[in-house]
Structure 1
């Protein structure tokens, strides 16, 4: 019924106390998630050092997210085939070495290439963390473990800008990448010693599906990110933004069709989606990934331009929400296994949407900063109700042999949302800036930062910047409403305690 573990000294379920292994994995998992958001705060510094336009600097984030998202479908299966520990360690090595390459990059092109390698390393690591939780924690303790996993997801998105701001203002942008090297080494040693060797399962690989999903997703993201720059028209020769959008959507549709036909084993077992909770949790987490990335960029740029804050000061505005996520992780973990699955994520996603709508109203040149900080704190409060509960609900009913596939799909959908959110918010911001300030709006915004830059701008420009950034925040707010409606459809889990 099950295969024998490769390491006789460890049982298929892992050690009696799986927490040390989880904490070892958390080190690397936290690091790769921080790198999703840490570059947002470095945008002005990268533009200045490399003399690069905003479109190129945005690719520093999008290239990482794209390289992170596309391979997740196959790296989850690799964990099942080779063992999650081995794949995790390999990914950590790739991520750590590419972080060093990022810090040493001499131009924006080298940095983007190094970020692609970083994303590939992150893709190898991420599904293994969820798979280890699913396979080593008993059902009645899995909620607490997933709550910690979810808290790490939420806190990392909030800590990234704070850590980035401190490093940029003190030792330079290079150190937002160099700092990963000692952390990566420590994480490797911890995982090598504490993570068990779990049993493996034979799988075949759907390379056609890999190609369809990779090309389709890249075409879609590239078109979204470059659309405003090329006025949603022609890029070069016969290649145009509408063509790329069409190609991306068609290839992704063909990918779904192919997954329903391919034998013996598809890249995405569509049977996973027969589980109502798995399907709805994936919808919600995709939209959550989109929203959290889409809100971060306009908020941080608004704080540095319109409100005249330094990178560190802007990042400190986010500190209360990080604290809220950390404080609430434990209580939420205890509630996951006791409450109906729909309660926590529906409240969290709905509350997050209300929080963003409130921020839209507060993003003016003279609104009280204490009020802004208070409202932003609820991003952390609501996030604690989202990450862990959704992850637990998505994977609890899946059989052990599909743990890797389920983790791969779940993390892929989350990262696809992040990729689309990053590209979509860039396009929306450019459009709103052009609407309020004319075609040169984006250049004025990004070229002037901090209090000194703000003082040199006329009041009309400052008001236009505020309106553009505030209107951009409506996108993630609206998306979260849809996510909350999806979460409201979750049903009681098969193994849920009464």
Structure 2
């Protein structure tokens, strides 16, 4: 591997970083463009819901099988193919003349994203070693954490100045540059995985799609009793909610998948996921921690834009600007992580990051007040973003540290899918806390009003997620609704902090791994594996040359 100063050695990382940015931003950018899409294409409520959710549903469903295909067919090739699919879908979305065409384009974008995303981690894992890998994962984590916050800001600017179609047109020149760079990414040297498992693919896609659908749509259709009629895949649900059926199908499919994989493994046949990955302590506990962290990290981004716009009356651009300060902290952390890992191990970096996230989330929650200056929460947003930059990158590093190189694609897809389930849980749990709290808090703050008025306003605010507040013309009712929304919103970051604290607890089960190395070189570039953060590192017989601290 060439030295870090070599431009060639860092070209793959730059290409992967730009590709990841495109994928992550497109997961959130469309939310800002929805009103303009409705006006231009005449979208129905159902159309809007599918435009928003189908990208994530397809993306989450295909991560695991496509990660395996990358191990088989070649990761740079699948990454480049994913970018091509993503660009074609972006073009179709940009020229869409109907809701059906736009929905189809968003689904296709999800396919391309699922091809490209797990390959970025797998390529970093197999291309960089020692200090370079620390830097690679730091940059990857900063982008994943920061771009989700920048998406609404970029979307607001593009939609306001250039129209909603610009949110898709902008992908074309960026993606073309990524494709040119992808041609220079070296192929992995390790033996590629072989064999096929078509039934396993069908089961895991069905299971992931159903579980993630239930998590995303539970608030809309009702967890048990129906909140509204639903027509899905030719079936109409009126007396019951489709969500319990989705969970049931998903759980049965995942259970059948696990049984199938175990049977195929015992028979010596190829498997989609090598379940022995979970015997690696770093992967097992890292996956649990990653799901909890994804659940918690979604909390602030979920509720703050709603609060800033509906309760405080700020524009979408201002709200996006405030959320983007989280990304500033994340990107700054990406520059600090490589320096910090010279002094402490990766597990400790993760723990510092989660501790900062806990402090930032609780600080944001306790700072929220009706009529406050929006800049009041910026310091806490920076702390929170700094924590994400520390935790996300190095948690991935620890999780992947002992994964054999030939399994990096399936491990990357699996950990990404686990994160998506965690994010879906975040939407379900923290979104439920917000919605339930909106109704009860608004009603409590209107205790002096007649029950009919109190219930009517509380229901309107609850069902709209707070968006109905600016339309309340009575100053006293408006003030009561703002106070209730403030109280309800405040709970979410505080609960987020508690969830992240649980994730911090799980990190103490992680091994204290040093950065994986090549040819006896340790994370600092020294020979012989000495001078590790917590003592001398010695490669074990099955570690593939990776150092594990003792």
**TM-score (normalizing by structure 2):** 0.80
Structure 2 counterparts to residues 219-234 of structure 1, below 5 A: 219-231=210-222, 232-234=224-226
* Structure 1 unaligned regions, length at least 5: 1-9
Q: CA deviation at 1:474?
A: 4.7
Q: Report if the CA contact (8 A) 1:294-1:424 is conserved.
A: no
* Structure 2 counterpart of 1:350: 355
Q: 1:314 maps to which residue?
A: 319
Alpha-carbon contact 1:143-1:334 (below 8 Å) kept: no
Deviation at 1:429, TM superposition (A): 3.9
Alignment of 1:148-227 (within 5 A): 148-192=139-183, 194-199=184-189, 201-227=192-218
For 2:37 and 2:476, locate their aligned partners in 1 and report how far apart those are by CA, in whole Å.
Answer: 22
Q: Which residue does 2:451 correspond to in 1?
A: none
CA contact (8 A) 1:85 1:196 kept: yes
Alpha-carbon distance in 1 for matches of 2:299, 2:262: 32
Residue pairs, 1:357-372, within 5 angstroms: 357-372=362-377
C-alpha distance 464-60 of structure 1, shift in aligned 2 (>3 A): farther
TM-superposed deviation, 1:442: 4.4
Counterpart CA distance in 1 for 2:30 and 2:309 is 14
Hey, what's the Cα distance between the residues in 2 that align with 1:46 and 1:24? 31
1:301 equivalent to 2:291? Answer no
Instruction: Quote the residue 1:262 is aligned against.
Output: 264
Spell out the pairing of 1:271-310 with structure 2 (5 A cutoff).
271-310=276-315
Q: Does the alignment pair 1:466 with 2:486?
A: yes
Higher Cα radius of gyration: 2
Q: Which residue of 1 aligns with 2:426?
A: 421
User: In structure 2, do the counterparts of structure 1 residues 448 and 373 end up closer, same or farther at CA, with 3 Å as the change threshold?
Assistant: same
3-state SS of paired residue (1:201):
coil
Deviation at 1:83, TM superposition (A): 1.1
Counterparts of 2:424 and 2:486, CA distance in 1: 25
> Equivalents in 1 of 2:80, 2:476: separation in Å?
50
Q: Which runs of 5+ in 2 are unaligned?
A: 227-236, 443-456, 517-522, 524-531, 536-550
Instruction: State the distance in 1 between where 2:40 and 2:498 align.
Output: 36
TM-score by length of 1: 0.87
SS of match in other structure, 1:309 = coil
Residues 45 and 447 of structure 1: CA distance in aligned 2, closer, same or farther (over 3 Å): farther
Segment drifting more, 473-482 vs 357-366:
473-482
Say whether the 8 Å CA contact 1:225–1:426 is kept in structure 2.
no
SS, match of residue 312 in structure 2: coil
Match of 1:441 among 445, 449, 461: 461
Equivalent residue, structure 1, for 2:76: 85
- Over 3 Å counting, the alpha-carbon distance change for 1:404 and 1:64 in structure 2 is same
Larger RCO of the pair (alpha carbons < 8 Å, separation 6+): 1
Quote the offset at 1:123 in angstroms: 0.7
Equivalent position to 1:103, from 72, 77, 94? 94
What per-residue deviation string (whole Å, max 9, x for no partner) do you get for residues 424-458 of structure 1?
A: 54454443334445332245556558799998972
1:479 corresponding residue in structure 2 = 499
Q: Could you tell me how far 1:105 is from its partner in structure 2?
A: 3.5
Compute the RMSD of aligned alpha carbons. 3.1
C-alpha contact 1:144 1:336 (8 A) present in aligned 2: no
CA displacement 1:353-392 (0-9 Å, x = unmatched) = 2322222223332233222112111121111111211111
* Alignment partners' CA distance in 1, 2:86 and 2:79: 10
User: Is residue 2:16 matched to residue 1:22?
Assistant: no
Residues of 2 paired with 1:450 and 1:438: CA distance? 14
> Paired residue for 1:327?
332
Verify the 8 A CA contact 1:233 1:242 in the aligned structure 2. no
2:61 aligns with 70
Partner of 2:126: 135
| Bigger mean CA offset, 464-473 vs 41-50 | 41-50
Output one character per residue of 1:158-188: Cα deviation in whole Å (capped at 9) or x when no partner.
2212211222222233322221111111111
Q: Cα deviations across residues 81-122 of structure 1 (Å, max 9, x unaligned)? A: 111111111100111121222333445554333222111101
Contact 2:142–2:392 under 8 Å retained in 1: yes
The counterpart of 2:392, out of the listed 363, 366, 387, is: 387
Which residue of the partner structure matches residue 398 of structure 1? Answer: 403
- The answer to whether the Cα contact below 8 Å between 2:221 and 2:241 also exists between their aligned partners in 1 is no
Q: Is the 8 A contact 1:445 1:465 kept in 2?
A: no
Distance 1:252 1:170, change over 3 A: same
Residue 155 of structure 1 deviates from its aligned partner by 1.8
Give the Cα separation in 2 of the matches to 1:101 and 1:426.
32
Q: Shift of residue 140 of structure 1?
A: 4.3
The match for 2:51 is 60
Number of residue pairs matched?
A: 485
Give the C-alpha shift of residue 205 in structure 1. 2.8
Report if the CA contact (8 A) 1:77-1:405 is conserved: yes
Separation in 2 of the partners of 1:314 and 1:118?
Answer: 26
